[in-house]
């Protein structure tokens, strides 16, 4: 059997789970429960001795989050491809196909979103293995979820005949069905030949290339050039920007799936959710007998069919007499919505962006390759941050035009450089960094280092930074 490569797509913004999921830190990287993130779960879903290391496709802002979370999960990626800009799923998948074609042209690839919930890994593995013979034989195999309700928020798949209950097996696909109206969804649910479209695809490299060359030929050359002209950046492969810009922005469903005739479907009967809105999180959150699901420091009194989530340890969320509501409290934003209007959260994000509200896209905790920081207080000419630096990590050697900084170590040990002078600071010690001074902060210890930074100046934006050296090769700008 040819080698099987999982391909994980993790460049999306996830606005429908705002305020927990935002453009700067979308839902696939967030712990919605108490365990692993959705991205980590996806990376481990099909892991095994007979499966190759995963190929990851993401964007520049998420590249270090990806490596950090894979390391936490004990997974060594085969390759991490960096998209210069989002172009939807078809160019991203074709880039993975072109990458593998140059290295293992007989390979099979399993393309998966990184933001779905599929807790039964054994059942999913069995479904994938049931589709391997068809994929090796030149079929494009997709996976259908046995529906449990007349869902209008998913696309559906019409099969040639109803699936067997005993074991998963590939069945010819008759057609794709767009998100249906409620009456049509109820009819399909009762029919037995329809499944939800999970958006997971299994196919060979050769089959994928042939499908793109037949149905989306205009995309093949720019994506191939983007892969061939890609440059290595630390452990990443940056696709070439100019040819990538010429690739059509289109989903894989529209580009090749709905135009192909060699399609098979493997039914999957295990639990599944795309967590496409807060109503789905409520369903997956193990609600109590009154339909109430809670997370974090929450007190619910006489509530029904309601989701209550507090995402801050020091923020107690109290609900009294609430019915069919979604309430999500973050340190910098609170969402209160009717449960049946959960899909409209995306409209709220659009409205916030139009107002220029920072919370529309920016997560309160800003993740960087060396750790993270969050703003505690922001005034007209000052800002107070909490900064956490991983063991062995270092910020860039840098300076600022508009602000000075005062650092106070509250946990761990910091090695600080200011204009060439190197000092070692421990808990309760501090250092002043004058405006324009060339400085760096490092954690030489074995435990995370935490400090409080007080900034003062005329401009406090993260883009007021000049980098002279950086172990993460980020270049200039706020994140590089």
CATH of the domain at 450: 2.60.120.10
Considering the domain boundaries, does residue 474 fall inside one?
Answer: no
| Same domain flag for 145 and 170 | yes
Would you tell me how many other CB atoms lie within 10 Å of the CB of residue 465? 18
Beta bridge partners of 398: 439, 467
Q: Residue 340 gets which letter from DSSP? A: G
Q: What is the pLDDT of residue 478?
A: 58
| Same domain flag for 286 and 395 | no
| Same domain flag for 27 and 110 | yes
| Same domain flag for 251 and 282 | no
Peptide bond connecting 383 to the previous residue in cis, omega within 30 degrees of 0: no
Its sign, for the CA torsion 239, 245, 250, 253, is: negative
Q: What is the pLDDT of residue 477?
A: 63
Sheet architecture: strand order including 382-389? 365-368, 371-378, 382-389, 449-457, 403-411, 430-433
Place of tokens 């998966």: 112
Considering the domain boundaries, does residue 395 fall inside one?
Answer: yes
Q: What is the pLDDT of residue 48?
A: 75
Structural domain containing residue 421: 365-469
| Same domain flag for 339 and 369 | no
Considering the domain boundaries, does residue 475 fall inside one?
Answer: no
Beta bridge partners of 416: 423, 441
Largest pairwise CA distance in the chain = 75
Helices (runs of H) and strands (runs of E) counted in the chain: 11, 28
Considering the domain boundaries, does residue 478 fall inside one?
Answer: no
Place of tokens 């920007």: 241
Write out the H or E segment, with its range, that includes residue 351: helix 345-355
> What share of the chain has pLDDT > 90, as a percent?
81
Domain edge (last residue) among 268, 300, 318 = 268
| Same domain flag for 343 and 452 | no
For every residue of 168-190, DSSP letters joined together read: ---EEEEEEEPSPPHHHHHHHHH
Distances (CA, A) of 131 to 47, 127, 265, 293: 16, 7, 8, 36
Question: Which residues, given as ranges, of the chain have pLDDT below 50?
Answer: 480
| Same domain flag for 206 and 256 | yes
| Same domain flag for 132 and 258 | yes
| Same domain flag for 220 and 316 | no
Q: What is the pLDDT of residue 167?
A: 78
Considering the domain boundaries, does residue 371 fall inside one?
Answer: yes
Considering the domain boundaries, does residue 189 fall inside one?
Answer: yes
Considering the domain boundaries, does residue 110 fall inside one?
Answer: yes
Considering the domain boundaries, does residue 423 fall inside one?
Answer: yes
- For residues 107 and 7, the answer to whether their CB atoms sit within 8 Å is no
| Same domain flag for 133 and 53 | yes
* Closest to 449 in 3D by CA, of 396, 387, 407: 387
Task: Indicate the number of domains in the chain.
Answer: 3
Distance CA(202)–CA(134), nearest Å, equals 9
| Same domain flag for 313 and 224 | no
Distances (CA, A) of 164 to 26, 168, 170, 308: 37, 7, 10, 39
Q: What is the pLDDT of residue 76?
A: 87
Distance CA(261)–CA(211), nearest Å, equals 10
Distance CA(426)–CA(30), nearest Å, equals 31
Place of tokens 């810009």: 245
Is residue 63 classed as helix, strand or coil in its secondary structure? helix
Q: What is the pLDDT of residue 472?
A: 87
Q: What is the pLDDT of residue 480?
A: 46
242: exposed, middle or buried (Cβ count in 10 Å: 0-12, 13-18, 19+):
exposed
Query: Which ranges constitute the DSSP H helices of 174-277?
Result: 182-191, 205-215, 217-228, 241-245, 252-255
Is residue 316 classed as helix, strand or coil in its secondary structure? coil
Sheet architecture: strand order including 334-338? 293-295, 307-310, 325-329, 334-338
Domain edge (last residue) among 219, 239, 268 = 268
Distance from chain centroid for Cα 143: 21
Q: What is the pLDDT of residue 294?
A: 95
Place of tokens 């005739």: 261
Q: Cβ contacts of residue 256 below 8 Å, gap of 6+?
A: 90, 140, 211, 212, 214, 215, 216
- For residues 108 and 132, the answer to whether their CB atoms sit within 8 Å is yes
| Same domain flag for 193 and 154 | yes
- Chain segment 232-252, per-residue pLDDT in tens: 988 899 999 999 999 999 999
Distance CA(108)–CA(128), nearest Å, equals 11
* Closest to 52 in 3D by CA, of 73, 81, 82, 77: 77
Domain edge (last residue) among 301, 327, 354 = 354
CATH of the domain at 227: 3.90.550.10
Q: Cβ contacts of residue 398 below 8 Å, gap of 6+?
A: 438, 439, 440, 465, 466, 467, 468
């Amino acid at each position: 059997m040819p080698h099987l490569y999982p391909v994980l797509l993790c460049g999306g913004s996830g606005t429908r789970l705002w305020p927990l999921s935002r453009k700067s830190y979308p839902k696939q990287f967030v712990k919605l429960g108490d365990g692993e993130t959705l991205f980590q779960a996806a990376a481990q879903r099909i892991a095994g001795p007979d499966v190759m290391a995963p190929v990851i496709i993401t964007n520049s802002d998420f590249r270090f989050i990806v490596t950090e979370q894979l390391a936490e999960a004990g997974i060594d990626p085969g390759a991490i491809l960096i998209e210069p800009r989002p172009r939807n799923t078809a160019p991203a998948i074709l880039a993975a196909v072109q990458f593998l074609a140059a290295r293992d042209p007989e390979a099979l690839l399993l393309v998966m979103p990184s933001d779905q919930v599929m807790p039964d890994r054994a059942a999913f593995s069995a479904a994938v293995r049931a589709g391997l013979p068809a994929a090796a034989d030149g079929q494009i195999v997709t996976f259908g979820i046995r529906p449990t309700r007349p869902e209008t928020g998913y696309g559906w798949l019409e099969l040639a005949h109803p699936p067997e209950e005993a074991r998963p097996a590939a069945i010819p696909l008759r057609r794709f069905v767009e998100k249906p109206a409620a009456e049509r969804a109820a009819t399909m649910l009762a029919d037995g030949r329809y499944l939800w479209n999970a958006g997971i695809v299994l196919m060979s490299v050769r089959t994928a290339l042939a499908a793109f060359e037949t149905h989306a030929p205009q995309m093949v050359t720019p994506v191939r050039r983007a892969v061939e002209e890609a440059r290595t950046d630390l452990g990443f492969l940056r696709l070439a920007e100019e040819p990538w810009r010429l690739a059509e922005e289109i989903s894989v469903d529209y580009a090749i799936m709905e135009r192909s005739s060699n399609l098979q479907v493997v039914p999957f009967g295990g639990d599944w959710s795309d967590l496409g809105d807060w109503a789905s999180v409520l369903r997956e959150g193990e609600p109590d007998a009154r339909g109430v699901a809670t997370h974090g420091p929450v007190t619910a009194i006489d509530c029904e069919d309601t989701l209550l989530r507090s995402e801050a340890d020091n923020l107690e969320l109290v609900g009294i007499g609430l019915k069919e509501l979604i309430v999500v409290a973050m340190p910098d934003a609170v969402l209160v919505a009717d449960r049946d209007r959960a899909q409209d959260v995306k409209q709220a994000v659009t409205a916030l962006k139009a107002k220029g509200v920072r919370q529309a896209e920016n997560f309160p905790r800003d993740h960087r390759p060396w750790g993270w920081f969050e703003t505690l207080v922001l005034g007209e000419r000052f800002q107070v941050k909490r900064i956490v630096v991983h063991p062995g990590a270092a910020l860039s050697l840098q300076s600022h035009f508009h602000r000075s900084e005062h650092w106070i170590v509250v946990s761990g040990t910091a090695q600080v450089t200011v204009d060439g002078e190197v000092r070692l600071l421990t808990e309760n010690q501090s250092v002043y960094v004058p405006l324009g001074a060339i400085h760096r902060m490092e954690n030489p210890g074995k435990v995370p280092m935490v400090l409080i930074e007080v900034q003062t100046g005329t401009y406090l934006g993260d883009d007021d930074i000049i980098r002279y050296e950086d172990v993460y090769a980020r270049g200039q700008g706020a994140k590089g």
